[in-house]
């Protein structure tokens, strides 16, 4: 079904509005609810001695900021992943990103004795980048280059191998298991405290990844037609997949470093968007920038509200949403005979 530019712009405005409401909910709701007028006063005229103002500035605003970054990164990375592999079940984990990040974090905890979440960041990013690079290098072997099937198989094989290594590391130490378990769940909680001191390098890498992603829209549209037709239309398949793969590494690596291996956001977001605006990846990528944070922040708010006085990590809530969506996608693909 074709969509006009005006309709898509209207839908984009609605997505931005929904994101604004989700951000407001993230700042207002939690273990202690804060009225919206107090939130607004805290943002515009902070009183340093006011407890509620301090909660907004020191806890919820940094946490919301992390949610915005991670949600946008995972949503866009998932769209790219499904585009270059032409696999409706693909998400950033298919390139081994989560597995590589998890392995390096486990090594950082078990071998180097690092126990602070802020200390995991660079290990998680390095692991995500290394794993994705290995998967792409393996997938690129051969005359046809990095085909969707080869990338998927290489990612699955590497993930299985890394999972075994992580298990060996964890069973050797109870302390390592306990520290790793919290990071692996995927949460915005501890990551959102002190985020204003976040390394500018990560922000630059995230911005670069988003820029490369938005430039890949036309190439993804051509890839969706099949390799032969894309070549006939002048597409450089190796370059297109290479640029998209670099973007995925930057986006998913940064997101995993910031919040742990949160699953299903990258899978679900493109499937929410396509029925609304069609299959043009130039628009899907832009929408993903806003829909991804909406999904992740909403999951974080729900986790805070339903488990008071504690909280349920955002990664668990997203998984509860994503699992039935994944089942529905599998059923649809099967019925379509794909």
Model pLDDT, residue 81: 87
DSSP 217-234: HHHHHHHTT-HHHHHHTT
Closest CA to 213 of 92, 77, 87: 77
Spatial separation of the C-alpha atoms in residues 242 and 229, rounded to whole Å: 19
pLDDT in tens, the chain (338 residues): 456 888 889 999 999 999 999 999 999 998 889 999 999 999 999 888 889 999 999 889 989 999 999 999 999 999 998 888 887 777 777 678 888 988 998 898 888 888 766 677 788 888 888 888 888 788 778 776 667 677 778 888 898 899 899 988 888 888 888 878 777 777 777 554 444 555 677 888 899 999 999 999 988 998 888 877 878 877 787 788 888 888 988 898 888 878 888 888 988 899 889 988 988 999 999 999 999 999 999 999 999 888 788 788 888 888 887 777 767 766 765 544 44
Total domains, the chain: 1
Spatial separation of the C-alpha atoms in residues 184 and 304, rounded to whole Å: 18
Identify the domain containing residue 11 by its residue range.
Answer: 5-336
Q: What is the CATH number of the domain that holds 137?
A: 1.10.3470.10
CB burial class (10 A; 0-12, 13-18, 19+) of residue 37? exposed
> DSSP 3-state assignment of 213?
helix
CB burial class (10 A; 0-12, 13-18, 19+) of residue 195? middle
Model pLDDT, residue 292: 95
Spatial separation of the C-alpha atoms in residues 225 and 231, rounded to whole Å: 10
Tell me the whole-structure pTM to 2 decimals.
0.86
Helix, strand, coil tally for the chain in percent (to 5): 80, 0, 20
């Amino acid at each position: 079904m074709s969509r006009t530019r005006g309709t898509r712009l209207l839908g984009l405005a609605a997505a931005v509005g929904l994101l604004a409401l989700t951000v407001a909910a993230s700042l207002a709701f939690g273990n202690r609810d804060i009225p919206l007028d107090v939130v607004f006063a805290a943002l515009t005229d902070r009183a340093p001695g006011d407890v509620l103002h301090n909660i907004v500035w020191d806890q919820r605003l940094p946490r919301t900021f992390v949610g915005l970054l991670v949600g946008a990164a995972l949503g866009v990375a998932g769209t790219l992943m499904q585009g270059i592999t032409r696999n409706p079940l693909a998400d950033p984990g298919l390139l081994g990103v989560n597995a590589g990040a998890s392995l390096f974090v486990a090594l950082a905890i078990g071998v180097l004795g690092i126990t602070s979440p802020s200390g995991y960041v660079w290990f998680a990013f390095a692991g995500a980048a290394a794993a994705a690079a290995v998967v792409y290098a393996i997938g690129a072997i051969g005359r046809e280059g990095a085909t969707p099937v080869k990338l998927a198989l290489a990612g699955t094989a590497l993930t299985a191998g890394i999972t075994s290594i992580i298990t060996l590391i964890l069973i050797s130490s109870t302390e390592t298991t306990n520290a790793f378990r919290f990071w692996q769940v995927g949460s915005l909680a501890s990551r959102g405290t002190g985020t204003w001191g976040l390394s500018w390098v990560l922000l630059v890498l995230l911005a670069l990844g988003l820029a490369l992603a938005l430039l890949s829209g036309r190439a993804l549209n051509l890839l969706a037609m099949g390799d032969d037709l894309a070549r006939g239309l002048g597409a450089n398949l190796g370059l297109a997949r290479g640029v998209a793969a670099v973007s995925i590494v930057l986006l998913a690596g940064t997101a995993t470093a910031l919040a742990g291996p949160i699953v299903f956001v990258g899978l679900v977001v493109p499937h929410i968007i396509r029925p609304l605006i069609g299959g043009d990846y130039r628009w899907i990528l832009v929408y993903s920038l806003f829909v991804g944070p909406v999904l992740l922040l909403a999951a974080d708010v729900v986790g805070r509200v339903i488990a008071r006085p504690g909280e349920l990590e955002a990664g668990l809530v997203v998984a509860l949403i994503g699992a039935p969506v994944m089942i529905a996608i599998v059923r649809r693909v099967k019925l379509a005979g794909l």
